[in-house]
Amino acid sequence: MLQAVPQRCLGPSVLARVDIVSESLIDIKTLISDITYRTLDETAKAEKIEKLLKESVSKTFYLLEGFVQDFFFLGEKITYADLQLFDVVKNGLSNYAAFSLEMFPKLTALVAKVETNANVAAYLAKHLKE
């Protein structure tokens, strides 16, 4: 069962850690949105995708790889940051052929753990069309 961690049980440094992850992923999502919706020229789009993957994603994911504790960013409890990473990877970055999580084994495992969570899997089965 998906159990969110109540914020009242966490200290400020733990909450800050989750916020750092979340804000970092928002930065990546913003770049993806710019490429997808605002960049019309295919040459410019290809250049932005290359820069996104080689610079922004690699630097951010290198940092986030170090934030993973056990299964998730806060250990054994799933947080919104874990769901956010899953969304960015599955619904954003996976659209780019050059994208791979291979260099980030902890993030790869985290995404797989979120995807196989009973509640997430049920939601995906109900709402995603293949």
| Structural domains of the chain ordered from first start | 12-127 (1.20.1050.10)
Contact 75, 69 (CB under 8 A): yes
Which has more pLDDT, 106 or 13?
106
Least confident of 28-32, 86-90, 100-104, 125-129: 125-129
Q: Burial of 49 by CB count in 10 Å (0-12 exposed, 13-18 middle, 19+ buried)? A: buried
Contact 9, 74 (CB under 8 A): no
Per-residue pLDDT at 63 exceeds 90 = yes
Query: What is the spatial distance between Cα 88 and Cα 104, in angstroms, rounded to a whole number?
Result: 15
Q: Enter the pTM of the model.
A: 0.86
Q: Minimal CA–CA distance to 81: which of 9, 8, 7, 31?
A: 7
- pLDDT band (50, 70, 90) for residue 8: low
Contact 35, 45 (CB under 8 A): yes
